[in-house]
């Protein structure tokens, strides 16, 4: 390759400037665009966002490629990212003026695996807020992130396409979008369940039903004790009047 054909890699500041210009243009054309804005050095701050990124980085298939997207997403080059059932659509500002289109499809979690997960969650999640905030026992954290039995997709369950000319199996634009998903889950963790064709409320519902069934079963024992008001308050989250 001739020295005169060498192109110096863009700095982060240059990427940010180009991305800002591209976003301004996009917002005029599409005011509904939802850019991924990374503030500071941290890519994800919540349990769901961190767990999403950790899952991607844990696979050898991605280890040498996913990192290419870090500088891109930190430069706010993901101009639009939308998550629907089993699908991610995004626009990423690259080297050319027109953003690249990225489409990522996530396979549905099998019914058998979902049934197993909901069964193992019995008694362990008391509210939707706990699920959203990632406030559940360590055992569930391990279960959710388990490669074989957990919720997070493996590389073979993630399918992507980018309009850029890079023929690599995972280009930096796709990698940036995958990290962008982690940032989006910081804002709305329930989008994770949307991606996997699931209803996160089922986990809470099944857990509470099991807890209530256990309480009623215990109440029917020989002691014939009544369910105490404190137990109802703990289960349903409201004060029982006296």
Q: Rounded CA gap, 137 and 38, in Å?
A: 29
pTM: 0.81
Q: Rounded CA gap, 8 and 15, in Å?
A: 13
Q: Rounded CA gap, 70 and 190, in Å?
A: 23
**Exposure of 4 in the CB half-sphere (CA atoms within 13 A):** 0
Look at 127 and 157; give whichever has higher pLDDT.
157
- Place 229 in a pLDDT band, splitting at 50, 70 and 90: very low
pLDDT at 201: 82
Q: Rounded CA gap, 197 and 59, in Å?
A: 23
**Over pLDDT 90: what percentage of the chain?**
55
- Domain limits at 210? 117-150+201-242
Is residue 37 scored above 60 in pLDDT?
yes
Look at residues 184, 199, 214 and tell me which one is the last residue of a structural domain: 199
Three-state DSSP state, 179? helix
In terms of phi and psi (left: phi > 0; alpha: psi -120 to 50; beta: otherwise), the region of 145 is alpha
**Over pLDDT 70: what percentage of the chain?**
81
pLDDT at 211: 52
Does a structural domain hold residue 5? no
Mean of the pLDDT values across residues 66-92?
Answer: 95
Does a structural domain hold residue 29? yes
Same domain, 93 and 67: yes
Render 199-213 in DSSP notation, one character per residue. -THHHHHHHHHHHHH
- Place 231 in a pLDDT band, splitting at 50, 70 and 90: very low
Mean of the pLDDT values across residues 63-69?
Answer: 86
Does a structural domain hold residue 3? no
Same domain, 135 and 222: yes
Same domain, 72 and 126: no
């Amino acid at each position: 390759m001739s020295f005169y054909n060498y192109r110096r890699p863009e700095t982060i500041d240059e990427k940010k400037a180009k991305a800002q210009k591209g976003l301004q243009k996009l917002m005029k054309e599409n005011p509904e665009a939802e850019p991924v804005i990374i503030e500071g050095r941290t890519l994800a701050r919540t349990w769901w966002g961190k767990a999403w990124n950790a899952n991607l980085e844990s696979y050898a298939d991605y280890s040498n490629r996913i990192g290419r997207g870090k500088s891109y997403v930190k430069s706010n080059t993901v101009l639009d990212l939308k998550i629907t059932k089993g699908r991610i659509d995004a626009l990423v500002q690259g080297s050319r003026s027109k953003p690249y289109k990225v489409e990522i499809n996530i396979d549905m979690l099998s019914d058998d695996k979902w049934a197993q997960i909901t069964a193992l969650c019995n008694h362990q999640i008391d509210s939707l807020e706990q699920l959203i905030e990632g406030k559940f026992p360590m055992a569930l954290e391990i279960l959710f992130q388990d490669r074989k039995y957990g919720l997070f997709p493996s590389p073979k369950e993630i399918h992507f396409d980018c309009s850029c000319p890079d023929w690599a199996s995972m280009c930096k634009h796709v990698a940036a979008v995958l990290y962008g998903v982690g940032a989006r889950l910081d804002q709305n963790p329930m989008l994770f369940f949307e991606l996997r064709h699931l209803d996160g409320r089922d986990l809470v519902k099944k857990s509470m039903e099991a807890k209530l069934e256990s309480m009623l079963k215990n109440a029917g024992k020989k002691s014939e004790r009544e369910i105490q008001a404190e137990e109802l308050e703990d289960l349903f989250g409201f004060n029982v009047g006296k």
